[in-house]
Amino acid sequence: MPAEPTLPFDPIARASDLWEQRIGVSTAMRVATSVMRVQQLISAELDAALKPFGITFARYEVLVLLSFSSSGQLPLSKIGERLMVHPTSVTSAMDRLEAQGLVNRVADTADRRRTFAELTPEGTAVLEQATAAVMAIDFAVGGLTPAEQDQTFELLKAIRSAAGDFA
């Protein structure tokens, strides 16, 4: 459902006009500013949907990633690599998820330097409920049609690729 507008005008369009008048071409500025604002809006809506489950979207991503693992476990280093976050962020998320009883840390018997994470039954239950909640709000991108969502993904993928996010 659309939210009530907070302003009677688009502040990014207004900034774009002023940019054009005072600095120059505003195309890249408009895109970057719009992406940053949309990120804020999506994050807020997803976090609100996940709040009843006591998790943030970052922790939800860890639960989803663990659920995708064929062995039911993943090394913590692999979680950071796949989610493209710093090891400190993985440790923080794991600490909170473990305190909530949603994941367990398991020592690697073959390599004591490595620790695995695995979902608990409670983690699986929370993941199922949380997934239903984020799907109910179409991952906060319901303002776009499915075709527009595909197009947006491809456009953003090009930026991520150019930045070296993946091969």
pTM score over 0.75? yes
Structure confidence by residue, pLDDT tens digits, 40-58: 999 999 999 999 999 999 9
Structure confidence by residue, pLDDT tens digits, 64-105: 999 999 988 999 989 999 998 888 999 999 999 999 999 999
Question: With 50 as the cut, is the pLDDT of residue 1 above it?
Answer: no
Give the DSSP letter of residue 3.
P
DSSP H helices in 23-139: 27-50, 57-68, 76-83, 87-99, 121-136
pLDDT band at residue 3 using 50, 70 and 90 as cut-offs: confident
54-137 topology per CATH: Arc Repressor Mutant, subunit A (1.10.10)
pLDDT of 108: 86
